[in-house]
Structures are given as C-alpha cells and as structure tokens.
Amino acid sequence: MPEYFETRERALLGSRYDELYRPLTETAARGVTVNGLRCAPEAFAAGAGIALQPSPFCKQAFLAPAEFRPGRHPWHHAGVFYAQEPSAASAAPLLGVEPGMKVCDLCAAPGGKSSQLAAALQGKGLLLANEYVAARAEILRQNLERMGVDNAIVTNETPARLAETLPGYFDRVLVDAPCSGEGMFRKEPAALAQHSEALVRQCAALASGILDAAAELLAPGGVLVFSTCTFSPEEDEAQVAAFLTRHPEFVQQDLSGVGFGRPGEANRAPETPGFSAEFCRRIWPADGGEGHFIARLQKRPDAPQAELPRAGRPAKKGKARENKSRGGAAASAEAWRSFAAEYFPHLAGRTVEIPGELVVLPPDDMPNLGRLHVLWAGLMAGRVQKGRFVPSHALFMAMGAQCTNRENLTLSDPRTLAWLRGEEIDAATAQNGWCAVCVDGFPLGCGKVSGGRIKNHYPKALRMLG
C-alpha cells in the first residue's frame, strides 16, 4: 500500500485497520449484474450454466467464479448481464428508480450503473447517461446498445453545461464520482501506482463541482445518490458534509437499513448540521467487495423550481446531417414503415426522426438539449440507402426478441459460437429476409436469410475470435 494511504487509514481506524482491509478472497471477486430488460435474476441463475452465488450488495447481481470469463459467454454478447465488481452494483438500486421517471447518470461510463437504471425504468421514462471523456462516452454508448436500452440519451458533456441546459429536470440523479480509486488497488494495479495525496485532493475538488451540478439538475423532491470506490475522508464523508453546508435545500436520508456494508465513519468529517456519518454506507474489503461509499440525499419538496431555458438550436447528433428535402425525409419514413410493418409491427406507428439517411426512434419524452454534444438519443433504427431500409444492429439488440422472423439458438447449439465468430449459419426457424438471431430468446443481432443460410451481420468489432 502507498505510505500516505496506510498512514492515514491506520490513524483513522486504529486497531480496526487490519480487520477492515483484509479481503474475504485472495483474488478480486468477480460479479455479474443481470439486465432486467432481458430476464429475472432467478431465470439467469437457472440457465446461464455458471456456478453463481447471490451477491450481498444487489438483488439483481451474483458472485461469479474467479475463472469465469464473461466475454466468452454468449449471454454477455446478448446483453443479458454486465460484468461488474460486486460492490459497484450496490449504489444504483438505492436511487429508487421507477418506470416513467427522468433519470440522470452524471458520470456514467463504462455503463454498469446506467444499465441498472435503464432496467429499473423498463423502457418508460428517460435516462440521460453522461460521460465527460469522449472515448469513454463511446464505450458507454456501446454498452447501452448491447443491453438493449432504447430510451437513453448519451451525452459527452461537462456536468455544468448539463445543469445549465436542464435545471430541475430530473427526478433522480446518480453521481458515481471520479475518485482516487482506493477501492481498486487490488483489481487495478494502475490505481495503486498513481495514488497520492495530491490525487485525493484533486478528485475531491472535481467531485464537489459535479455534486453542485447534480443539485441543480434535480427537481424538488428528487433524490440524489452519491457514490465512490475510494475510502478517503475528503472524497466521502467530508464531501457529503460540505455539500449539505452548501446546499441547505437538501436533506440526508438514512441508509442504515439497506442490509449490506457498515455505517460511515464519524471521524472522517467535521461535525456538520444535517450530516450523519451513520446514515452513509461503506463497503470494506472485509465485507466481500473491493470498496464503495454511498450517501443518499433528497432535495426538499419546497425547494425553488428552476426554469428550463427557452428552446434553442437542436442538439448535435454525431455527424448526422439534417435532411433538407421534405420529399427525401418522407420517402425514408415510408421505407422504414414498410420494413417495420413486416418485421416489427409494434414499431410501425412510432414517431421517427430522419437526420440525413438515418432513421431514429427518439425517446417518448425528449427534452430540448440545446447545444449539448449528444452521441445518441433513443434508438437508431437504421438507414435508408437507395430507397431501401437497412436495419441497424442496435434495433435488433433492443427489439430482436419481438421480431416476426427469428432464428432461435441455444447455448448448446454449435451455431451460436459460429455466429459470434462472424460465420454464416444454417437457418432452421427463420424465413427468407431479415431475421433476428437469438440465443435462448435473447438477441444477438441480425442476419439476412437466403436459400436456407443466414448471412452474418454481427458487427466485426464485436465478434468473438478464436
């Protein structure tokens, strides 16, 4: 351990240091969180063919064997589960998300917590998943696509710009703050190598600004969950205490009944009106996870309601251009409706946007995003090329189980791995034309059937080699 870290923690914990920092297992625990958009945890445990144990931190999660390789499992490709450090699955459920809510995950990459929030929404309402680092924002988008999320907006923005654009808009906000990563020392050697007292101070200052933006984004009566994977006072208890001092419109909520972890540490924050370390939750290595800190705060229902800015320019969506030709847009919409009527009848009546040659199904409750940098919003159904609609991988990952033409595979079917390697496979249940390829009912993208064979359209970048 770094000298600064150990000296600090021994001073704070005294004789409890060795107890709390002694992990339950020799190697970092592996965890999987089940995607509630695909199946229930019980069905996953019964059918995945993995030796699993229930996670103490989340009802939708399990502990997996150390030798488990998630990327080799077809259900991972089908978005049935997300590989996630066990204690990391604890924070998102504490937001209490329900279908129909507007939810913001302010520091969302790589997407594990966002996928949990999307599953809680069950396709109703809106999830805005934001990531400041562009490369990580693209990984976030890809993961939400794999998990079949169709009601999300993925942004690559600063929290401050989001707060300026959407003040008071969200019912729930999650801040899984960028931190010094002290809970990742065993799992990620880079976290150990780069750790320093200066990094702790830097991360604490960064998270403070993010929390201020989260406070502005939240509607009166809304709930904010703040979490880190570190142990430092400045980033955890002291951070929450300072937030409550700056924001008297918030009250701290009691997490002592969640059923996992231990209370926060009173000697890690100054005595502050309205703040209770007992109400926080800490997961130590001795509790079975690598480490997590969580606090839950509610904005008072009588807090002033912010006004949304007036309508501005439409949001930028990647490199898509607006379709200037009304005739072109109408023809593209008709090509989509014709395709949807044959393969996805339940989508044929949905409102679509036609930026350029793309066909997009926006979220039902789409806010005005002004000049924000938006990677994607809703579901990219596909594109129209030479008058014909070509469906996207994302469409089949979100809706493949409802496609009228499906090829049904199983885990034991040799065609499943062949498909994930990018090979053509024989058609047994699918008819000529576009088809969804599913494993045990879960989507693995799309193919095109001709002469009893399915041409593979599984994206090359996602294929399982070897």
CA 237/CA 231 separation, integer angstroms: 9
Cα–Cα distances (Å) from 204 to 238, 239, 268, 403, in that order, read: 9, 7, 13, 48
**Residues taking part in catalysis:** 229
CA 92/CA 42 separation, integer angstroms: 20
Q: 324 Cβ partners below 8 Å, 6+ apart?
A: none
Give the number of other Cβ atoms within 10 Å of residue 266's Cβ.
13
Q: Is 42 exposed, middle or buried (0-12, 13-18, 19+ CB in 10 A)?
A: exposed
**Three-state SS at 414:** helix
Which pair of tokens denotes residue 170? 């969200």
- What ranges make up the beta strands (E) of 313-364? 316-317, 358-361
Closest CA to 388 of 424, 434, 431, 321: 434
Q: 7 Cβ partners below 8 Å, 6+ apart?
A: none
